[in-house]
A and B are shown apart, each in its own frame.
Chain A
Amino acid sequence: MNLIEILSYSFIQRALLAGILIAVLCSVLGVFLVLRRLSLIGDGLAHVTFGSTAIALAFKLYSAASLLVSLPVVLLASLGILKLTEKARLSGDAAIGIVSAVGISAGIMLASVGGGYNVDLLSYLFGNILSISPEEVLVAAGLFCVVMVLLGLFFNDLLAITFNEELARVSGVRTKRINAVLVMLTALSVVLAMKLVGIMLISSLLILPAVSALQLARSFKTCIMLAALQGVCSVITGIFVSFLTNLPTSATIVFINLLFFGVSCAVRRLLIPRSAIPSR
């Protein structure tokens, strides 16, 4: 089967379109999250998504309709993580851990009450981009536009708080507000990415393109672009490889990202002089 034939399938076209949009979002946000040491927020919010999806399925809301429950719940959870770090004097990882545990527990309890795990819920654990519906692609495109516009509007503020929050405040940046924007954008992206790589593997799409880009970037803007490029390439390659080899798409995407990370590390060692690599 050649490339043209594969591309002629409408489910492949939908998967590629949605996958590219989601990969760009996760990769770009991942750079900010990794640098702010909030890498695992994706995992935490994904677990909340699992709980919210269980609620949606309990109300017989499937596919795009399940987002009506997931989006508000995950947005609230993202703000909950922020409030826990601010008010309860918890570190970010502890707050993420709490919200994550509560999210997954809620999902398990609801699934149990609703008659045990079912295929729909399990499909969210590992994702299945090839089964994405036209409605879900439309929702992904809409949310992609919203997130990218907000990222563009707040880009310099996000860069400022990522570099140093104290300095950002003295430059007039409303750091609490910008932190809230960052976690809410992440929440939107995590809900979308759930379909692509599944709850268990979401953080790979947030973290791996970002850490690969950090190896090679020579400015913040190139870092963002490199991360997005890797995210997109990994999704496109992952969809084709998984289709041809009958491997699970989500896991294939993760391994391709891992391969890119290895290559980035090797290229850094080869091209960037050792004197320019800061010691840790």
Chain B
Amino acid sequence: MPVEVVRAEQLACSYREGYVLEDVSFTVNAGDYVGIVGPNGSGKSTLVQALLGLVPISSGSARLFGSLCNGFSQWGRVGYLPQSLHLLNPVFPATVAEIVGLGLLSLKRFPRRLTRHDREKVDTTLGDLGIYDIKAKLIGELSGGQQQRALLARALVNDPELLILDEPTAALDPETRERFYRMIGDINRSRGVTVLLVTHDTGVIGQHASKMLYLDKRMLFFGSFDDFCHSPEMSSLFGEHSQHLMCHRH
């Protein structure tokens, strides 16, 4: 029996302007790699933020590991990588090791002090991602690709069971982007980490993800990428040409 990691039921979120997300219901099981796609303003980021309790839910419910997101406390089981562009203050005076170490706070109780064992864990994670050599560099002085890997290390250092990535490659060049996605695919397969990836790129879903969730303020599709590509409903919704373009594997 598959282990349920994420469950949304009739989930809706609204701001002053009205609903940005409504009637979203899906279940993600352990080991799944789900790509969340949709046009700009379709509610992709709002969905992951609602799952993480960062924005309020208007109606319906969302659960992580069986617990309601509102009041969820098992943060040690979750890794999160937000959009990079707005994230980093270029003069922030912290090293990569200091920032990655913050990912371990989710496993700590007050007062959250990092031990020597924690620092070894940081080193191991940086080594696994091939960025041990930038451990002592300031995070603001790194290239976009290095920053993304450092923040991925921060999201992975607590050995999460669920990894949530919100458009993680928006600032990267195509080659670095492809390398990044391969890395996430490896993490999903080798460690069994459940992945929820928000992206604009449907080609990425076809290559790496096992399931696709298509949003446009409401959920239009949830299932395998192949089912999406062969779905007559999707064909009538997007038109055959657009569906073909979306299903083209890069």
9-residue interface stretch from A16-24, A107-115, A216-224: A216-224
9-residue interface stretch from A76-84, A163-171, A247-255, A256-264: A163-171
B95 at interface by CB-CB < 8 Å: yes
Report chain A residues within 8 Å CB of B132: none
B220 at interface by CB-CB < 8 Å: no
Within 139-163 of B, Cβ neighbours of A (below 8 Å) are at 140-141, 154
Whole-angstrom distance from the CB of A51 to the nearest CB of chain B?
33
Whether A219 and B98, one on each chain, are in contact in the complex, defined by CB atoms closer than 8 angstroms, is: yes
B36 at interface by CB-CB < 8 Å: no
Partner of A153, one of B78, B89, B110, B141: B110
B113 at interface by CB-CB < 8 Å: yes
Whether A171 and B73, one on each chain, are in contact in the complex, defined by CB atoms closer than 8 angstroms, is: no
Whole-angstrom distance from the CB of A217 to the nearest CB of chain B?
4
Report chain B residues within 8 Å CB of A43: none
9-residue interface stretch from A123-131, A190-198, A231-239, A272-280: A272-280
Whether B93 and A217, one on each chain, are in contact in the complex, defined by CB atoms closer than 8 angstroms, is: yes
Whether B141 and A278, one on each chain, are in contact in the complex, defined by CB atoms closer than 8 angstroms, is: yes
Partner of A35, one of B52, B78, B89, B138: B89
Report chain B residues within 8 Å CB of A223: 93
Tell me whether A156 and B141 are in contact in the complex, defined as CB-CB below 8 angstroms, given that A219-B94, A278-B90 are known contacts.
no
A173 at interface by CB-CB < 8 Å: yes
Whole-angstrom distance from the CB of A86 to the nearest CB of chain B?
13
Report chain B residues within 8 Å CB of A279: 90
Tell me whether A167 and B140 are in contact in the complex, defined as CB-CB below 8 angstroms, given that A156-B105, A219-B98 are known contacts.
no
**Bound complex: CA A214 to CA B106 (Å):** 28
Partner of A218, one of B87, B95, B105, B154: B95
Report chain A residues within 8 Å CB of B89: 35
A160 at interface by CB-CB < 8 Å: yes
B214 at interface by CB-CB < 8 Å: no
* In the complex, per-residue mask of A147-183: 1 if CB is within 8 Å of any chain B CB, else 0: 0000011101101100110111111110000000000
Whether A214 and B102, one on each chain, are in contact in the complex, defined by CB atoms closer than 8 angstroms, is: no
Whole-angstrom distance from the CB of B1 to the nearest CB of chain A?
28
Whether A163 and B138, one on each chain, are in contact in the complex, defined by CB atoms closer than 8 angstroms, is: no
Tell me whether A220 and B93 are in contact in the complex, defined as CB-CB below 8 angstroms, given that A156-B114, A167-B80, A169-B54 are known contacts.
yes
A201 at interface by CB-CB < 8 Å: no
B3 at interface by CB-CB < 8 Å: no
Report chain A residues within 8 Å CB of B53: 169
Whether A160 and B102, one on each chain, are in contact in the complex, defined by CB atoms closer than 8 angstroms, is: yes
**Bound complex: CA A279 to CA B91 (Å):** 9
B75 at interface by CB-CB < 8 Å: yes
Report chain A residues within 8 Å CB of B91: 214, 278, 280
Partner of B102, one of A153, A163, A169: A163
Within 104-133 of B, Cβ neighbours of A (below 8 Å) are at 105-106, 108, 110-114
Whole-angstrom distance from the CB of B50 to the nearest CB of chain A?
13
**Bound complex: CA A157 to CA B154 (Å):** 15
**Bound complex: CA A152 to CA B113 (Å):** 9
Report chain B residues within 8 Å CB of A160: 102, 105
**Bound complex: CA A214 to CA B138 (Å):** 11
Partner of A171, one of B90, B95, B98, B105: B105
Tell me whether A219 and B54 are in contact in the complex, defined as CB-CB below 8 angstroms, given that A159-B102, A171-B106, A278-B140 are known contacts.
no
Report chain B residues within 8 Å CB of A35: 89, 92-93
Whole-angstrom distance from the CB of B140 to the nearest CB of chain A?
5
Report chain A residues within 8 Å CB of B35: none
Of A153, A214, A220, A223, chain B has the most CB atoms within 10 Å of the CB of A220
Report chain A residues within 8 Å CB of B154: 167
Q: A167-B102, A217-B93 are in contact. List 20 more A-B contacts (CB 8 A).
A: A152-B111, A156-B108, A157-B112, A159-B94, A163-B94, A168-B102, A169-B53, A170-B52, A170-B75, A170-B106, A171-B102, A172-B76, A173-B105, A219-B94, A219-B95, A219-B136, A219-B138, A222-B93, A276-B138, A278-B140
7 contacts between A and B (CB under 8 A): A159-B94, A159-B98, A169-B53, A170-B106, A171-B105, A278-B90, A278-B140
Closest 10 CB pairs of A and B: A278-B90, A172-B75, A223-B93, A217-B93, A220-B94, A170-B80, A153-B111, A171-B106, A171-B105, A172-B106
B residues with CB within 8 A of A: 52-54, 73, 75-76, 78, 80, 82, 87, 89-95, 98-99, 102-103, 105-106, 108, 110-114, 136, 138, 140-141, 154
